[in-house]
């Protein structure tokens, strides 16, 4: 399977991955994130969530990211956030350091989930929380983009662990499962010229992983349907999987 060069696409990443205010609001409702809290964003990308979370909470917020291009853009956004090179299997901070660790749409990039959860547990304080923001296989199948590029569902179900696998691997590292929360499922949206522009830029990583023939055909179908106006669709939603370190 082809790979995605995030250094190459870092200059358009913010067109696709903007800070999710509702997600941050959900974090605030679930946790006591005051100015003394220590928070880690694993795979922070260009720092959209770290930036917003720090500004809202004034907590000690950290982001780790293996892509130098992504980190360069992240560091331009907020000097109060500590950004460092690292990944889920190599968190460059001491044991028992964080009150809250989260990752948003990153787990499918992690080669060894068991090692990831072992490293998260090491870095968490006792009673520290973890939130894995991802999609179930069912949600992947329901994505609006799949109607034009059906192969993206197959490639991403191969990349994404399903929810029960995530829970099982966390339990193997003695992280206690709390609950799952589903956001945005079946929320009405309209696909328009902006969506087509992002598709043409291949701003969605899964478009780099399908055959060129399928990509070209999907773009043509999308262009044809948009001639008649925006396309009504619904969001497939995302799943938040919550754990705690006992």
78-92 per-position pLDDT tens digit: 999 999 999 999 999
Cα–Cα distance measured from residue 27 to residue 45, given in angstroms and rounded to the nearest whole number: 19
CATH class, range 6-186+237-244: alpha beta
74, 45, 69, 175: which is closest to 116 by C-alpha? 175
Residue 223 vs residues 194, 219, 246: alpha-carbon distances, Å: 12, 6, 52
Cβ atoms 184, 238 nearer than 8 A: yes
Pick left, alpha or beta for residue 84 (phi over 0 → left; psi -120 to 50 → alpha; otherwise beta): beta
CA angle 240/30/46 to nearest 5° reads 60
Cα–Cα distance measured from residue 59 to residue 62, given in angstroms and rounded to the nearest whole number: 9
122, 108, 100, 113: which is closest to 243 by C-alpha? 100
Cα–Cα distance measured from residue 41 to residue 13, given in angstroms and rounded to the nearest whole number: 17
Cα–Cα distance measured from residue 74 to residue 62, given in angstroms and rounded to the nearest whole number: 11
Mean pLDDT over 215-223 rounds to 98
Percent of the chain clearing pLDDT 90 (strictly above):
89
pLDDT band at 20; cut points 50, 70, 90: confident
Q: Is the pLDDT of residue 6 over 50?
A: no
The predicted structure's pLDDT at residue 5: 37
């Amino acid at each position: 399977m082809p790979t995605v060069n995030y250094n190459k696409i870092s200059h358009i990443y913010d067109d696709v991955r903007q800070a999710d205010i509702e997600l941050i609001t959900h974090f605030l409702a679930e946790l006591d994130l005051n100015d003394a809290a220590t928070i880690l964003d694993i795979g922070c990308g260009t720092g959209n969530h770290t930036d917003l979370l720090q500004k809202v909470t004034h907590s000690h917020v950290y982001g780790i990211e293996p892509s130098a291009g992504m980190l360069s853009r992240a560091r331009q956004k907020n000097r109060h956030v500590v950004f460092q090179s690292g990944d889920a299997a190599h968190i460059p901070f001491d044991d028992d350091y964080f009150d809250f660790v989260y990752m948003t749409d990153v787990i499918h990039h992690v080669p060894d989930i068991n090692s990831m959860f072992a490293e998260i547990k090491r870095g968490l304080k006792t009673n520290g929380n973890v939130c894995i923001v991802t999609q179930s296989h069912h949600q992947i199948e329901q994505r609006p983009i799949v109607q034009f590029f059906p192969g993206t569902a197959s490639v991403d179900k191969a990349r994404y662990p399903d929810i029960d696998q995530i829970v099982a691997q966390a339990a193997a590292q003695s992280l206690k499962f709390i609950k799952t929360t589903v956001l945005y499922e079946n929320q009405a949206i309209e696909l328009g010229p902006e969506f087509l522009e992002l598709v043409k830029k291949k701003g969605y990583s899964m478009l780099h992983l399908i055959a060129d023939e399928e990509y070209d055909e999907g773009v043509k179908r999308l262009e044809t349907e948009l001639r008649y106006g925006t396309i009504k669709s619904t969001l497939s939603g995302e799943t938040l999987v919550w754990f705690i370190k006992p």
